[in-house]
Structure 1
Amino acid sequence: MTTALIDVHAHFVTERYVAAARAAGHDRPDGMPGWPEWSPEAHLALMDESGIATSMLSVSSPGVHFGDDTAARELAREVNEFAIEVVRAHPGRFGHLASLPLPDIDGSLTEIAYALDVLGSDGVAIETNAHGRYLGDDHYVPVWAELDRRGAAVFVHPTSPPHAEAISVGLPRPMLEFLFDTARSATDLLFAGVFERYPGIRWIFTHGGGVLPLLADRIHLFRTAFAGNQQERTTSEQLRGLWFDMAGTPFPHQIPALEAAFGLDRLVYGSDYCWTPQAAVAAQIAGIDAADRPGEPTWRTLTTRHTRKLFPALNRDSE
């Protein structure tokens, strides 16, 4: 019997959210051609066709903060409440990672409490930077302290870096810039000592860590030879403590690179639907199934086992 996947990297949009983003100038978000369509029915159909048992819903880039704290707080609350209604309408099929109005600290702390204590969200979703302020900045310390206290899952989704239009040479930023911004954000957290100071946070990074597996040794060199960093654990030890999803193009190169750098103990599945079209999700899953190794757990079995460890509530839902 084929093991059902659990998708930790699944997105949704609403008409109100898209309208707010467009009003803020995001007609072609992150250089993409336009906005995807989404509905619970279409998402469930994809899941049934692809053997996905449960999908964790989150809002993707460009997030919910478009420059005004009050508007961002209202939009975060709206999309979070919408997603929870979808979760409740389809028991066991969806989970939810709540949007936060970063870089607004007070608004984010309020939304953390509401999402986790009232709505029952499974964790929170943030972006690799908030208007150019990366996650190692001391500005975020109150948020990390609260999430650490709660032992929360924090899904870190890439977004466009500062001056993206100048450096992306007209290409969609998810193709290259997202992968570099994932590495940039994780490195910023590492150098700032956030991973060591807040060990209770369950960090999830996307797309196999982007270019992070290829740069881990170089990052460690600069930490030790030039930065004089005296953190207790090595770069590799800290990065091995992160969770990584398989969204994008996991085979033939991305996941083997991740395995060589950090191992597979915290690998989970991600589709990136609805920003990744249905046909591309189907092709990705076919590639994952074709890459199974003889005598080893299938990628489905391995990632589903890990995801149930990452989100223990899924085990209660399946009982």
Structure 2
Amino acid sequence: MRVIAVEEHMTTEAFLRVAHGLDVVPGDETEMDLMRTVENTAGFRARLADLDARLREMDALGQDMAVLSLNPPGVQPYPAADAVPLAREFNDALAAIVRRHPGRFGGLATVAPQDPVAAAAEIERAMGPLGLNGIMINSHTGGRYLDEPEFAPLLAAAEANRAPIYLHPRAPSMFAAYREYGMPGAIWGYQAEAGLHAMRLILSGTLDRHPGLTVVLGHLGEGIPYWLRRIDNRHAFAARTAGAATPMPRLSLTPSEYFRRNFVITTSGIDDPDVLALALRAVGEDNIMFAIDSPYEDPASAVAFLRSMPLTDDQRTAIGHRTAERVFGIAETETETETETETAPGSGGIHTA
């Protein structure tokens, strides 16, 4: 079975040397102090930057391909004048890595939403000359969200260039309420922030204006699949009763219909058979992709979960590689060639149901 993992973070030493010397926009200092501490930790920095070691690990696990993305929160905490050229430089480096390792690495470009026009141009360059597979945006930028009018050029470019947007979490914009108890990060704040952003895109009418947009959510949908029936129910109730008290755009579809049409979810960080079973019922295997969230999660555990989960052959094929090939434009023949020549995936422990 081919295995493609699609939320796999990395960085380069060149990027870190520049980024760690930049000023951070007001409000993002606490998050960036934490991320710079993580990135300066010797063992973790090596896991982010040493792609030769990552290939060896992939080979050992029978993982054929990783779709790489810049370690969050990317360039979004920096002033636009710094973020725009830094994004271009990183994307050039990422494209060179992908070219050196065809069939083993794909890439999601980073952009600077601080300058939506420049971000739109970078999306076109990333999907065109650079040959990358999509973009990653780390939720809010300075407390602003992609449904807001200023980001229309970015969304239009993503739709026009068939660039999936991986909407990755970061520390919530409403940081004060999450400050204590470790809540700003992955315990709770990350999924709350990314789920909020996705719901803003759905409820704002943004997906009526950009019906061809594809948005990818990690962590099996950031909690939204669990809530879909209630979201539809309460949205219909609010639309009937709230009136002028809470103005709501008139939508062409129900919230769950947008979620199933415009969103694809990944398994990153949730190796839970019950949650995956719920996600399969909610959105189907053709809207779910395998992801590890490397190096923040254990690759061996994630790959073992994919292989041992009681799935049908079609479900395992879709989650393991087929959906990723479709969403990110990954050539199936290319990965087949690399699998035959460079890797020897194991096949033990696969069960069908």
* Residue 12 (structure 1) aligned with residue 33 (structure 2): no
Identical pairs, percent: 25
Native 8 Å contact 1:80 1:115 kept in 2: yes
* Residue aligning to 1:226: 238
- Counterpart of 2:35 (choices 5, 8, 29) is 29
* Residue aligning to 1:291: 309
Change (3 A) 1:298 1:49: farther
* Residue 190 (structure 1) aligned with residue 188 (structure 2): no
Structure number with greater Rg is: 2
* Residue-by-residue CA offset, 1:81-137 (whole Å, 9 max, x unaligned): 111111111121111110001131122022112222221111111122112112211
Q: Give unpaired runs (5+ residues) of structure 1.
A: none
Native 8 Å contact 2:205 2:250 kept in 1: no
* Residue aligning to 1:210: 222
* Residue aligning to 2:246: none
Change (3 A) 1:55 1:142: same
Native 8 Å contact 2:91 2:126 kept in 1: yes
* Residue 235 (structure 1) aligned with residue 255 (structure 2): yes
* Residue-by-residue CA offset, 1:130-149 (whole Å, 9 max, x unaligned): 12112211111111112212
* Residue aligning to 1:262: 283
Cα root mean square deviation, aligned: 2.3
| Partner AA of 2:164 in structure 1 | A
Native 8 Å contact 2:9 2:294 kept in 1: yes
* Residue 123 (structure 1) aligned with residue 134 (structure 2): yes
- Counterpart of 1:271 (choices 292, 299, 317) is 292
In the TM superposition, residue 230 of structure 1 has moved relative to its aligned partner by 3.3
Number of residues paired by the alignment?
313
Change (3 A) 1:33 1:56: closer
| Partner AA of 1:243 in structure 2 | V
Q: Give unpaired runs (5+ residues) of structure 2.
A: 241-248, 338-353
* Residue aligning to 1:244: 265
* Residue-by-residue CA offset, 1:168-196 (whole Å, 9 max, x unaligned): 42416022111112211110000111222
* Residue-by-residue CA offset, 1:232-288 (whole Å, 9 max, x unaligned): 221211111211111002313321222232232211111111233xxx221122123
Change (3 A) 1:168 1:284: farther
Give the Cα–Cα distance (whole angstroms) in 2 for the partners of residues 127 and 66 of structure 1: 10
| Partner AA of 1:90 in structure 2 | H
TM-score by length of 2: 0.81
- Counterpart of 1:89 (choices 87, 91, 100) is 100
TM-score by length of 1: 0.89
In the TM superposition, residue 34 of structure 1 has moved relative to its aligned partner by 6.1
Change (3 A) 1:297 1:149: closer
Give the Cα–Cα distance (whole angstroms) in 1 for the partners of residues 271 and 158 of structure 2: 29
* Residue aligning to 2:300: 282
Change (3 A) 1:20 1:28: farther
* Residue 112 (structure 1) aligned with residue 123 (structure 2): yes
In the TM superposition, residue 21 of structure 1 has moved relative to its aligned partner by 4.5
| Partner AA of 1:4 in structure 2 | R
* Residue aligning to 2:160: 149
Native 8 Å contact 1:69 1:104 kept in 2: yes
Structure 1 range deviating more: 91-100 or 228-237? 228-237
